[in-house]
Structure 1
């Protein structure tokens, strides 16, 4: 997972369609972003692939995303499960899929070579997934290390993702999507260069991927169209690869599709056969020789890597007859690839490799951006050698990277100068992004510099430079978030008394300062509302809503309780029938709560008023009440000194015998109740309150008393009692 940025479509805490709450960013592409999210309904984690706003109304991209959604028909643990597409109220389209937690093979590739044993395990697992997909006539077409995730880091739990390849239509991407070609050059099968793709193409890609991860380096595919065509016509160099992985790769990645394993099932059969015949104690495993195939005999010196065969040298022949036929087939394949390559040359297939040929680009796209805390990058089309040199030099000055190609297109004569002028304006922003489609430009960025924001607002107020059209959205992110903005949110949403802001300073919250709030709220919905509202103004700051969720009854009383300090009076819970202390205060259906009030030695006079605020909205007066009217501390002590305990809720047996209050928990109203002990110098009310009354009636009585007798209240102590099902 990676850090959230101001330019992201969604931020952690955002809720999509009242269902999916965003937790983190998993990845970003040219046309889409992937987020980790949790269902507010089921609690299930999911990955959401979201088309960026500029592509959500584009039918071509929607078709690709819909194609990816159709993969949900495949039910196999090695294939990521897709749910469905959704559209937000703002028109953004996203695809819901399973969240797979683990590193991708691309990360493993960057870390270095993988063991042959692990790669055989990955091959078996991925081949099983491909078999399930191919049975439904679904070909991945873009199998590569970044599309394989090792769930929990386990090779035996590899998962194939990203069947849609919609992300790769952006300028400068390694993958080309269209009617003629789909796949990354490094891992694509030779026939894909001339528009031919079937299940055997996925098998080739898997073989190339296994070799790359064994070597710890991506395949070299050349630097121009002819090199690509030539290298793709040659067998992969598997020298030094131990058996049976070497033969497996050779047979999966043969340049001629007819010479490969024809199905994923054949790959799995080979793995089963060689696993069964292998010596489990051997360091290197050989495939069993076949009488009719001398070429399959094991290398007598597997521990010493054989020298690499020159790239131009054909693979060893099985016999003279097959050599002659194989040479002819090889020539035909190379000729076909050359024709396909030349066709791709003139059709713009190899635009990424071309120098000064200036092919036509439609659409004419360029993306230049500088994400926060990352190097800037430029990818796409430029119209002249002069602009190519200027943009490369400009990016080098920012330690950025470029992937640019010369092309002609439907752009204004001043396009190059206009773009460079725009980039100069954006340079000082904290982060920025310029997306060009022909003469149309979309600019976004952010800054904490008020003066810079004002200057750029004036610069773009009357439009973009020169012939460029479009819009600029530059966000001002104040360096300090005023405490008043946070306080305003709390005052608007508080529903159970004031909410505190520990950690707030007079100047506000700094760029890295967390926003923490504490207090009480009436409902879970209020806590969620606080988090959402604070996240909306927090920027990159962390938000912690550390509040107790009570209920409307408790909060009604809370807001009307007198302001008084705690007096050190304890409230002890005991389980009736078993006479066991219950320090948690949690009672289950059928249990009998006993409540004792623990008076400290220094509480020797005054009056006690003890009530329990029930979750159902009622208040029960435990002391005094009609059956027990005496509540003076001296009478309750009855001559005792030191700490004493006064029982106010009894076991059901004692209650029946002594005409006291006792109760058992039923399932009619479960949740949080609150026991309140008020110590006052005078009786709290004029006369007795009924044994039970509504919370609103008791709140009104408290309010009336506080208005005239606040000074008589010495202390207020309380404790939560929770009732639940076992």
Structure 2
């Protein structure tokens, strides 16, 4: 456990939403903290992942947390169980998940190497969990030692956690969060660096972390982007790993995805019969293995023998010469020698003779340099340069713009004009709002962004004919519109609307400015739609924040929502109680086996008319709580029974009471879990001619509502509703 601080979001003893009592802080991260808590209702332990206050209003992180919530559909002991997101009264968002007691593999990594037998056990267990996830088309994308916990310190009880990708964005965390890549450099598959991710990426990451825990040290992936790209294209070094773990890791971490195990099921098949992957070796065969050579030392084998001298060649006989010729020839030789010396000095200082004399500076391979400027920060330059002059020029350029430089003098396979070419390129990029120049030897990649159409056209034209000097590569200059037109956003909303229309309340006649938030309101049928909507808007939003103020329902509720009459809220409340314990349930969340009791609270100003109360079940059914065959009188006067003020009216009962009186009661089972909705319609007269059946299909009820609205739209005075959630235990 971690000691709490006064500025932590929660302290031990705090109770969230009248349900979860905080017991301890488990860990702190860049964007979220994790707490150990106990349910005041069920008594079970839970882990609460709480977004820090500065991120709770950022929809980027809310959507990522929602993605993580969707993992609750996976039912496997090797995958942590998730419940749902909640928001506290002061706006903090948290995700409820199972509490898993035990060390993470990151802690094991710090303690040193792990036995191969334990790692094979962990591999089997984790792969079984990945197989369950992949069968639902869910890819973890960020598998690393800190995302695997050994329950009870038992390798056979490994549990995968943290399916979200909202990670620490500090540089030390080496985790990228964005539209294209999520994952830690050390364990990410090569294809993830270019935005490609599938089940095989998880297999690579699992193999890489197994190797790290076998060695007791994380993989070395380099210190700059070019090194990362180069090393990710090479196989991992498994020379000292025993079989069958070596063959397993080799096939899991092949740089090319097609060369790996293609599915988690293939990994499990290998683990069941690992000998199939290794060549058969005759146990009686004699193997002669040369001893390993040390790279910078030779074995102590005594003095090295002196090579014998070759026989001396006979001295040549010089031809006779005259004195005048010898004098003239000597002067010419001296002049040629002087020219050679002067040329040699120049060649030495320019590095032209490095290939013959050896480099003046250490050789860098690859010879990389990254220079970039973002819209929100000063420029920076990191990498290799060939001379003190180029170093001084680049450092001065960065310093003049309050930027930083981390440059290393190095020799490499670059052109003589490389430094001048780089500086000329930077001179052209300077007017851009943001830009990036990535160099690998003489190869260069340029990206930049501007809102100036004339500058965009000028640079695009200049780079179309090639980069400066000997540099060879591509330049992509993007023109970013200052305003994003509403007409460009609206089609995305129309395409994604699956539960009624989606609105843009903040839109202006000219669209969205560079600092405007794109706010969307409305309802969607499921979380997948919400995530897809966010991703689609993120692609066109540019620097703008995307804020989705949308309610996630389900297809059944959406069907009814599209047929519900347009009526104002009437202030009629809906309250929940756990029947078998007679405990208030303000969260509206009921677990399998529990008995939801539902009360409708009439406010003091509702004294006449009629109430129609129905619950729309996630399975596609509608249950009519009031009126129904056993309770036909639904007039407000009868329900009040002479009482004034706020009056509670019970419409779904405790099981024991219902058994005695023949009233309506429910018990949650696992046949239909998710969101249901209680709808309260207050009308001036009964809605329907006669009673509806106690239970009917959502389609039938929707048609009946539609018919009534068309015939007597003004009879409905108000509409109130509340979500009820059923969940696994």
TM-score scaled by length of structure 2? 0.52
Which whole-Å CA distance do the structure 2 matches of 1:512 and 1:678 have between them? 42
Alignment pair present for 1:659 and 2:662 = yes
Alignment pair present for 1:375 and 2:379 = yes
- CA shift, 1:530, in A, is 2.6
Structure 1 pair 51–17 and aligned structure 2 pair: CA distance change class (3 A): farther
C-alpha contact (below 8 Å) 2:496/2:529 kept by paired residues: yes
- CA shift, 1:691, in A, is 1.6
- CA shift, 1:550, in A, is 2.4
C-alpha contact (below 8 Å) 1:613/1:620 kept by paired residues: yes
**2:458 paired residue number:** 455
Which whole-Å CA distance do the structure 2 matches of 1:53 and 1:649 have between them? 52
**1:348 paired residue number:** none
Alignment pair present for 1:20 and 2:141 = yes
Structure 1 pair 504–78 and aligned structure 2 pair: CA distance change class (3 A): farther
C-alpha contact (below 8 Å) 1:494/1:521 kept by paired residues: yes
- CA shift, 1:646, in A, is 2.7
Structure 1 pair 73–577 and aligned structure 2 pair: CA distance change class (3 A): closer
**1:581 paired residue number:** 584
**2:676 paired residue number:** 673
SS at match of 1:75: helix
**2:714 paired residue number:** 711
- The aligned runs of 1:394-433 (5 Å cut-off) are 397-398=400-401, 401=405, 403=407, 411=415, 419-433=422-436
Match of 1:79 among 207, 217, 223: 217
- CA shift, 1:610, in A, is 0.9
Which whole-Å CA distance do the structure 1 matches of 2:364 and 2:583 have between them? 79
Match of 2:603 among 600, 605, 620: 600
Structure 1 pair 23–511 and aligned structure 2 pair: CA distance change class (3 A): farther
TM-score scaled by length of structure 1? 0.52
- CA shift, 1:693, in A, is 0.9
Of the structure 1 ranges 531-540 and 66-75, higher mean CA displacement relative to structure 2 is found in 66-75
5+ unaligned residues in a row in structure 2: which ranges? 1-28, 32-59, 68-136, 143-164, 197-203, 222-228, 243-291, 304-347, 356-362
Q: CA offsets per residue over residues 538-566 of structure 1, 9 Å max, x none?
A: 33444444544322111221222111111
**1:558 paired residue number:** 561
Q: CA offsets per residue over residues 97-155 of structure 1, 9 Å max, x none?
A: 9xxxxxxxxxxxxxxxxxxxxxxxxxxxxxxxxxx999769xxxxxxxxxxxxxxxxxx
Match of 1:532 among 529, 532, 535: 535
- CA shift, 1:681, in A, is 1.5
Structure 1 pair 687–446 and aligned structure 2 pair: CA distance change class (3 A): same
- CA shift, 1:405, in A, is 5.7
- CA shift, 1:516, in A, is 4.8
Structure 1 pair 378–502 and aligned structure 2 pair: CA distance change class (3 A): same
Alignment pair present for 1:568 and 2:708 = no
Which whole-Å CA distance do the structure 2 matches of 1:92 and 1:686 have between them? 75
- The aligned runs of 1:474-623 (5 Å cut-off) are 474-501=477-504, 508-511=511-514, 513-623=516-626
**1:724 paired residue number:** 727
Match of 2:175 among 35, 40, 46: 35
Structure 1 pair 414–51 and aligned structure 2 pair: CA distance change class (3 A): same
Which whole-Å CA distance do the structure 1 matches of 2:533 and 2:234 have between them? 27
Which whole-Å CA distance do the structure 1 matches of 2:524 and 2:637 have between them? 38
Which whole-Å CA distance do the structure 1 matches of 2:610 and 2:557 have between them? 23
- CA shift, 1:603, in A, is 1.6
C-alpha contact (below 8 Å) 2:364/2:410 kept by paired residues: no
Match of 1:696 among 686, 699, 706: 699
C-alpha contact (below 8 Å) 2:418/2:471 kept by paired residues: yes
Which whole-Å CA distance do the structure 2 matches of 1:637 and 1:28 have between them? 63
Which whole-Å CA distance do the structure 2 matches of 1:499 and 1:458 have between them? 41
Q: CA offsets per residue over residues 593-615 of structure 1, 9 Å max, x none?
A: 23222222322222211111112
C-alpha contact (below 8 Å) 1:56/1:93 kept by paired residues: no
Which whole-Å CA distance do the structure 1 matches of 2:711 and 2:188 have between them? 62
5+ unaligned residues in a row in structure 1: which ranges? 4-10, 58-65, 84-90, 98-131, 138-196, 202-255, 260-327, 329-353
CA RMSD of superposed structures (Å): 5.3
SS at match of 1:662: coil
Structure 1 pair 513–93 and aligned structure 2 pair: CA distance change class (3 A): farther
Structure 1 pair 24–499 and aligned structure 2 pair: CA distance change class (3 A): same
C-alpha contact (below 8 Å) 2:391/2:407 kept by paired residues: no
Which whole-Å CA distance do the structure 2 matches of 1:69 and 1:470 have between them? 35
SS at match of 2:498: coil
Which whole-Å CA distance do the structure 2 matches of 1:68 and 1:693 have between them? 49
Which whole-Å CA distance do the structure 2 matches of 1:93 and 1:555 have between them? 50
Q: CA offsets per residue over residues 643-675 of structure 1, 9 Å max, x none?
A: 333332233344344433223222222222111
Structure 1 pair 385–619 and aligned structure 2 pair: CA distance change class (3 A): closer
Structure 1 pair 701–69 and aligned structure 2 pair: CA distance change class (3 A): closer
- CA shift, 1:718, in A, is 1.0
SS at match of 2:593: coil
**1:627 paired residue number:** 630
Which whole-Å CA distance do the structure 1 matches of 2:624 and 2:445 have between them? 67
